[in-house]
């Protein structure tokens, strides 16, 4: 093994910092070398046999370290502070004559004729200081920078006597056993008294527990409040009862307690940002705005149309009605669709519908619309090259709202489109569209009359400043999208080598056009009716004998009539079908045929024409109110049925009593065989008793029962004479005829 100067090796028999040594001096033809322990603060050079050292290294009793532990001291002069350079140069001036000579006697500490002692006497230096600088020079690599000041070792090092038990009170008599570290406070400097405590391991452990218990929690306390609670929890000397009888923590005098500055220093020194933010804000808050941002969502897209991002926001502005500008209609819901590759705004919608599938549906439909015709509807004239977006994407990214459920499944099936839903509370995963919403707010909405702002006491209500209607606000959003697509420079856009070679400027429209030429194959076009039909939400309806029942309303169509759906439902029972519907109207629904390539329109029946011009929400509210009213009428129904049953029971009871009292000794057969004649007599009595007699001389009408009795007695051959008619043979023929008719 070849030895060389400044070689650092470690003894393998007892590994650790105390076994690391450096070779200080070696000379050809000499049988010995000089070494020193690197990490021993009181180390002195040791003379070792050269052959012996080579043997132990070859036998692996010691191994050479590949990296010098003080290699970091070799750095440029401009990276070293001036104060540190002055201290280094002063130390070098003291030892330079000694280390630059080849006199090996300097390795013998405190030798009587040592050149170190002679140099100290001649220059007036302290020999202890000289030896300290020499030790540092040898241990740290024998370079000038080895004499850099050890400021990194300043501060707390638990300088209490290790033999003292942990938690024992520290002496403050100014002796050698205890010394206040750090800069003295103002009161200590003014009174020349030692005040305060050192931060020992025990104190530091209490700090850690206090920070974990009172600061790194979801209560969001301030650090000063957490410090006060830490003192009350871990540094009290007992409890006392105040005048109100409440037990409180008794704290020692302030000079016997650590300071807030010490608490803050150690919190910042040991703070784990990830753990601290997660504890105080939750994992969702940390993931949203606290974590590192090393990725770039633009890299997810290979070209235009690879992925669109869609998101909604409530516009921070109040609008007025186009019917009457005195009416304030609230804040609009804005949807933006942005291409990930070029950051181009490819579609938008401004509605009064809440954030729902309807708004997302309108924005996606707008992304496939001819923008020249779309802008012309609002009096804006553009060229095709200014907004060349009228396509469907390969993928669509949204949050877990509108595109979660069947709507997303149908986009996948109908358009062969991939749908991505971000995790909850992770709006940063679709940061391109989120950033455009913020940009739109700063550029347009915050300068619009009726904008939402913080209102001071006595200030005019900003809602009264509303000026724009829905049509005018849509026009502003279109102008904002055109300005973004053509004039907004994406300074932070990361261009690849092909874009750089083609000298592409980072404007959305230029990136889009470049991508169409070089990264094509991701955009698709379909006719408007097919797109709209497949964007409509789908639900389940029932075919019944009364019509196609959907949302408590009934519909019909030509195909259902021709194929006799309703007749079949009357015979075999109802069945389920899938229908597409527009939530904004109840007048019609649609049957998707041939996998969405054609449709059949179903119209509302005339019986339900009341809901023809109503939207889905109004119809749903009406039917829900009907259910509520039906539920509320249960009490009335139950009470009325109770009264009805009581009245009928009373009538039936009176009739049974009267019939029982009027019963004479007549056989049951005689009573049954005389039904026809009895009916004839009763009918004639009813006619005679209830016949209308008009005129002034008409007699007063007696009660029904008395009138009927009188009519029976006046009837020739009436029951008053006790006559019982014989059975008639025609009765049997009549009964047979009635049975046949019933069958």
CATH number at residue 507: 3.30.420.10
Cite the beta strand spans of 530-654 per DSSP E.
538-544, 547-550, 553-556, 575-581, 588-593, 598-604
pLDDT at 544: 92
Q: Per the domain annotation, does 193 fall within a domain?
A: no
Cα-Cα-Cα-Cα torsion 465, 471, 473, 477, nearest 10 degrees, comes to 180
pLDDT at 15: 73
Q: Per the domain annotation, does 79 fall within a domain?
A: yes
Contacts 24+ apart (CB under 8 A), 651-654: none
Count of CB atoms within 10 A of residue 286's CB? 18
Of the candidates 644, 658, 635, 666, the residue with the CA atom closest to the CA atom of residue 705: 658
pLDDT at 539: 83
Q: Per the domain annotation, does 613 fall within a domain?
A: yes
Identify which has the larger pLDDT, 194 or 596: 194
Does one domain contain both 396 and 318?
A: yes
Kindly state the tokens that stand for 740.
């046949």
DSSP 8-state secondary structure symbol assigned to residue 492: T
Identify which has the larger pLDDT, 185 or 328: 328
Question: What proportion of the chain, given as a percentage, has pLDDT over 90?
Answer: 12
415-433: pLDDT as tens digits: 778 887 776 666 666 778 8
Does one domain contain both 581 and 548?
A: yes
Residue-wise over 653-670: b if at least 16 C-beta within 10 A, else e?
eeeeeeeeeeeeeeeeee
Of the candidates 495, 523, 494, 488, the residue with the CA atom closest to the CA atom of residue 509: 488
Identify which has the larger pLDDT, 731 or 263: 263
pLDDT at 165: 36
Identify which has the larger pLDDT, 164 or 647: 647
Does one domain contain both 349 and 485?
A: yes
Alpha carbon of 460 to those of 369, 463, 464, 486, 591: distances in Å? 41, 9, 8, 38, 53
Kindly state the tokens that stand for 634.
């249960």
Query: Position of tokens 């009174």?
Result: 191
| 378: phi then psi, degrees, rounded to nearest 5 | -110, 20
Of 132-141, 584-593, 708-717, highest mean pLDDT: 132-141
Q: Are strands 333-339 and 307-314 parallel, antiparallel or unpaired?
A: antiparallel
Count of CB atoms within 10 A of residue 342's CB? 30
Q: Per the domain annotation, does 175 fall within a domain?
A: no
Does one domain contain both 254 and 330?
A: no
For the residues 47-71, what does the mean pLDDT come to? 87
- Helix, strand, coil abundance in the chain, percent, nearest 5: 45, 15, 40
**Bridge-partner residues for 46, per DSSP?**
35
SS (H, E, C) 529-560: HHHHHHHCCEEEEEEECCEEEECCEEEECHHH
What is the C-alpha separation between 198 and 158, in angstroms, rounded? 8
For the residues 708-732, what does the mean pLDDT come to? 57
pLDDT band at 700 (very low <50, low <70, confident <90, very high): low
Does one domain contain both 428 and 364?
A: yes
Q: Cα 626 to chain center, whole Å? A: 37
For the residues 94-100, what does the mean pLDDT come to? 89
Indicate if the pLDDT at residue 727 is higher than 60. Answer: no
pLDDT at 161: 41
**Bridge-partner residues for 250, per DSSP?**
none
pLDDT at 543: 92
Does one domain contain both 90 and 231?
A: no
Q: Cα 450 to chain center, whole Å? A: 29
Kindly state the tokens that stand for 195.
């005040």
630-653: pLDDT as tens digits: 777 788 888 888 888 889 988 898
What is the C-alpha separation between 523 and 391, in angstroms, rounded? 6
Q: Per the domain annotation, does 514 fall within a domain?
A: yes
Alpha carbon of 505 to those of 489, 500, 602: distances in Å? 8, 9, 52
User: How many structural domains does the chain have?
Assistant: 6
Q: Per the domain annotation, does 365 fall within a domain?
A: yes
pLDDT at 175: 46
Chain mean pLDDT for the chain: 81
Does one domain contain both 416 and 331?
A: yes
When mean pLDDT is compared across 163-167, 384-388, 566-570, the lowest value belongs to 163-167
What is the C-alpha separation between 492 and 504, in angstroms, rounded? 14
Of the candidates 389, 393, 399, 391, the residue with the CA atom closest to the CA atom of residue 418: 393
Contact 50, 23 (CB under 8 A): no
pLDDT at 272: 86
Query: Position of tokens 């040594």?
Result: 21
pLDDT at 409: 66
Contact 221, 160 (CB under 8 A): no
For the residues 203-217, what does the mean pLDDT come to? 91
What is the C-alpha separation between 351 and 258, in angstroms, rounded? 60
Q: Per the domain annotation, does 419 fall within a domain?
A: yes
Cite the beta strand spans of 450-564 per DSSP E.
538-544, 547-550, 553-556
**Bridge-partner residues for 556, per DSSP?**
603
pLDDT band at 495 (very low <50, low <70, confident <90, very high): confident
Count of CB atoms within 10 A of residue 676's CB? 14
302-320: pLDDT as tens digits: 888 888 888 888 888 999 8
pLDDT at 410: 67
Alpha carbon of 46 to those of 54, 63, 106, 180, 662: distances in Å? 16, 18, 12, 37, 144
Count of helix runs (H) and strand runs (E) in the chain:
25, 20
What is the C-alpha separation between 257 and 349, in angstroms, rounded? 63
What is the C-alpha separation between 106 and 96, in angstroms, rounded? 12
Q: Per the domain annotation, does 432 fall within a domain?
A: yes
Does one domain contain both 445 and 354?
A: yes
Q: Which domain holds residue 25?
A: 8-64
What is the CB-side half-sphere exposure of residue 606 using CA atoms within 13 A?
A: 0
Does one domain contain both 379 and 514?
A: yes
What is the CB-side half-sphere exposure of residue 49 using CA atoms within 13 A?
A: 4
Kindly state the tokens that stand for 75.
């750095």
pLDDT band at 159 (very low <50, low <70, confident <90, very high): very low
pLDDT at 185: 76
pLDDT band at 224 (very low <50, low <70, confident <90, very high): very high
Indicate if the pLDDT at residue 288 is higher than 80. Answer: no
pLDDT band at 92 (very low <50, low <70, confident <90, very high): very high
pLDDT at 89: 92
What is the C-alpha separation between 618 and 551, in angstroms, rounded? 11
Does one domain contain both 299 and 257?
A: no
524-579: pLDDT as tens digits: 777 777 788 778 878 889 999 989 988 878 899 989 999 999 999 988 889 999 88
**Residue 447 in 3-state DSSP?**
helix
Count of CB atoms within 10 A of residue 729's CB? 7
Contact 153, 139 (CB under 8 A): no
pLDDT at 17: 75
Contact 94, 129 (CB under 8 A): yes
**Residue 356 in 3-state DSSP?**
coil
Which of 274, 301, 330 is the last residue in one of the domains?
Answer: 274
Indicate if the pLDDT at residue 207 is higher than 90. Answer: yes
Indicate if the pLDDT at residue 32 is higher than 70. Answer: yes
pLDDT band at 115 (very low <50, low <70, confident <90, very high): confident
Question: What proportion of the chain, given as a percentage, has pLDDT over 70?
Answer: 84
Does one domain contain both 590 and 478?
A: no
What is the C-alpha separation between 641 and 656, in angstroms, rounded? 22
Which of 526, 546, 571 is the last residue in one of the domains?
Answer: 526
Indicate if the pLDDT at residue 168 is higher than 50. Answer: no
Identify which has the larger pLDDT, 366 or 414: 366
pLDDT at 706: 64
pLDDT at 364: 87
Contact 178, 172 (CB under 8 A): yes
For the residues 449-474, what does the mean pLDDT come to? 86
Does one domain contain both 517 and 392?
A: yes
Which of 274, 306, 331 is the last residue in one of the domains?
Answer: 274
């Amino acid at each position: 093994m070849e030895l060389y100067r400044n070689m650092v090796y470690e003894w393998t028999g007892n590994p650790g910092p105390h076994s690391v040594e450096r070779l200080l001096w070696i000379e050809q033809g000499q049988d010995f070398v000089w070494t020193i322990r690197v990490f021993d603060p009181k180390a002195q050079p040791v003379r070792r046999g050269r052959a012996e050292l080579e043997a132990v290294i070859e036998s692996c009793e010691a191994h050479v370290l590949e990296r010098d532990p003080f290699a970091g001291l070799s750095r440029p002069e401009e990276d070293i502070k001036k104060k540190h350079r002055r201290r280094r140069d002063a130390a070098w001036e003291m030892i330079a004559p000694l280390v630059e000579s080849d006199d090996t006697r300097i390795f013998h500490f405190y030798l009587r004729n040592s050149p170190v002692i002679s140099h100290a006497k001649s220059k007036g230096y302290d020999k202890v200081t000289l030896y300290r600088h020499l030790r540092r020079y040898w241990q740290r690599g024998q370079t000038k920078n080895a004499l850099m000041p050890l400021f990194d070792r300043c501060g707390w090092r638990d300088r209490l006597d290790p033999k003292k038990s942990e938690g024992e009170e520290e002496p403050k008599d100014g002796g050698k056993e205890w010394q206040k570290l750090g800069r003295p406070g103002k009161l200590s400097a003014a009174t020349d008294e030692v005040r305060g405590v050192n931060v020992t391991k025990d104190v530091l452990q209490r700090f850690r527990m206090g920070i974990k218990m009172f600061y790194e929690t979801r209560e969001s306390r301030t650090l000063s409040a957490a410090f006060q609670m830490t003192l009350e929890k871990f540094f009290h000397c007992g409890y006392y009862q105040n005048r109100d009888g409440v037990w409180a923590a008794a704290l020692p005098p302030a000079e016997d307690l650590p300071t807030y500055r010490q608490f803050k220093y150690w919190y910042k020194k040991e703070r784990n940002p990830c753990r601290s933010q997660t504890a105080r804000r939750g994992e969702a808050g940390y993931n949203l705005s606290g974590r590192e941002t090393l990725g770039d969502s633009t890299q997810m897209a290979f070209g235009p149309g690879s992925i669109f991002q869609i998101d909604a926001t409530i516009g921070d502005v109040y609008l007025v009605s186009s019917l009457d500008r005195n009416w304030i209609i609230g804040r609009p819901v804005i949807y933006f669709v942005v291409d990930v590759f070029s950051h181009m705004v490819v579609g938008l919608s401004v509605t009064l519908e809440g954030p729902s599938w309807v708004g997302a549906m309108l924005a996606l439909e707008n992304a496939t619309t001819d923008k020249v015709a779309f802008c012309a509807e609002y009096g804006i004239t553009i060229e095709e090259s200014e907004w060349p977006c009228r396509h469907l994407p390969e993928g669509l990214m949204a949050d877990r709202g509108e595109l979660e459920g069947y709507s997303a499944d149908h986009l996948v099936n109908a358009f062969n489109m991939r749908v991505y839903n971000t995790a909850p509370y992770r709006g940063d995963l679709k940061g391109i569209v989120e950033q455009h919403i913020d940009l739109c707010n700063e550029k347009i909405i915050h300068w619009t009359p009726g904008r939402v702002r913080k209102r001071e006491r006595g200030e005019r209500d900003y809602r009264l400043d509303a000026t724009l209607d829905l049509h005018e606000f849509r026009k502003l959003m279109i102008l904002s999208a055109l300005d973004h697509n053509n004039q907004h420079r994406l300074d932070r856009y990361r261009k690849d080598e092909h874009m750089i070679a083609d000298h592409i400027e980072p404007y959305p429209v230029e990136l889009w056009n470049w991508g169409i030429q070089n990264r094509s194959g991701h955009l698709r076009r379909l006719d408007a009716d097919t797109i709209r039909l497949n964007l409509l939400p789908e639900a389940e309806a029932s075919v019944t004998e009364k019509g196609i029942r959907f949302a408590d309303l009934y519909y019909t169509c030509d195909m259902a009539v021709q194929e006799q759906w309703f007749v079949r439902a009357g015979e075999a029972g109802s069945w389920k079908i899938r229908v597409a519907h527009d939530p904004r109207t109840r007048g019609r629904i649609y049957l998707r045929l041939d996998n969405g390539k054609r449709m059949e329109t179903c119209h509302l029946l005339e019986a339900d024409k009341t809901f023809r011009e109503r939207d889905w929400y109004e119809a749903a509210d009406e039917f829900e109110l009907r259910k509520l009213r039906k539920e509320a009428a249960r009490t009335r129904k139950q009470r009325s049925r109770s009264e009805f049953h009581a009245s009928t029971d009373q009538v039936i009871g009176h009739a049974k009593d009267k019939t029982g009292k009027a019963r004479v000794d007549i056989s049951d057969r005689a009573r049954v065989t005389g039904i026809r004649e009895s009916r004839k007599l009763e009918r004639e009595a009813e006619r005679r008793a209830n016949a209308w007699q008009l005129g002034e001389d008409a007699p007063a009408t007696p009660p029904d029962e008395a009138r009927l009795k009188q009519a029976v007695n006046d009837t020739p051959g009436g029951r008053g004479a006790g006559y019982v008619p014989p059975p008639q043979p025609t009765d049997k023929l009549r009964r047979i005829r009635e049975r046949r008719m019933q069958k």
